[in-house]
């Protein structure tokens, strides 16, 4: 399972690292992740951790644009979705950024830093998404203090 680590830093979504293999490749970044945070679990997870002003600032700079038929259609709908998200719950998206792909991201908040670890799977493996995200969240929760993560999904 591809694993991603991203942060919201200096007003930008930054994917810091990706771990994948030839047999389980990461989602191809065909549209800039910084500009399309509304359309992927990583961005939605990071935006959900920000205060209202920071969210609106981000969306003013990077307006919502549909990427697939499943992408949220406008900024108002996205803000409503972000408000409904439960704190520390995994954020999931299905084919909003890339057709044929599902993703889940777990929030990691350290002080005022918004970060996330995420996974992606092919759509035909969507039934594995939430169990894998919950395992990732449990592993991160146990090891957050050491910053030495070993994840086997």
Give residue 153's pLDDT. Answer: 46
* Per-residue pLDDT band at 141 (split at 50, 70, 90): confident
pLDDT in tens, 120-135: 999 999 999 999 999 9
**Strand 101-110 with 113-122, pairing:** antiparallel
DSSP codes of every residue in 77-117: HHHHHHHHSPTT--EEEESSSSTTEEEEEEEEEETTEEEEE
Q: Which residues pair with 19 in a beta bridge?
A: 3
Domains and CATH numbers, the chain: 3-143 (3.30.450.40)
pLDDT in tens, 69-93: 999 999 999 999 999 988 788 999 9
Give residue 86's pLDDT. Answer: 82
Give residue 15's pLDDT. Answer: 96
Ramachandran bin of 100, using left for φ above 0, alpha for ψ from -120 to 50, beta for the remaining angles: left
Q: Within a 10 A sphere around the Cβ of 43, how many other Cβ atoms? A: 29
Higher pLDDT, 144 or 149: 144
Query: Distance between CA 59 and CA 74 in Å, rounded?
Result: 10
Return mean pLDDT, the chain: 90
**Exposure of 4 by Cβ count < 10 A (0-12 exposed, 13-18 middle, 19+ buried)?**
buried
Query: Distance between CA 33 and CA 60 in Å, rounded?
Result: 16
pLDDT in tens, 101-118: 999 999 997 778 899 999
Query: Distance between CA 27 and CA 149 in Å, rounded?
Result: 21
Mean pLDDT of 52-74: 95
Give residue 145's pLDDT. Answer: 55
Give residue 110's pLDDT. Answer: 76
Whether the Cβ atoms of residue 40 and residue 91 lie closer than 8 Å to each other:
no
Give residue 140's pLDDT. Answer: 83
């Amino acid at each position: 399972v591809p694993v991603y680590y991203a942060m919201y830093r200096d007003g930008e979504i930054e994917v810091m690292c990706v771990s994948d293999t030839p047999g389980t490749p990461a989602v191809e970044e065909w549209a800039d992740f910084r500009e399309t945070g509304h359309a992927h679990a990583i961005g939605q997870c990071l935006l959900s951790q920000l205060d209202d002003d920071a969210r609106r600032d981000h969306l003013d700079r990077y307006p919502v644009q549909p990427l697939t038929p499943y992408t949220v259609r406008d900024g108002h709908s996205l803000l409503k979705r972000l408000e409904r998200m439960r704190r520390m719950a995994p954020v999931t998206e299905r084919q909003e950024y890339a057709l044929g792909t599902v993703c889940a991201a777990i929030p990691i908040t350290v002080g005022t830093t918004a970060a996330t670890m995420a996974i992606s799977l092919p759509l035909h493996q969507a039934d594995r998404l939430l169990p894998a995200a919950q395992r990732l969240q449990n592993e991160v929760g146990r090891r957050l203090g050491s910053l030495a993560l070993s994840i086997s999904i």
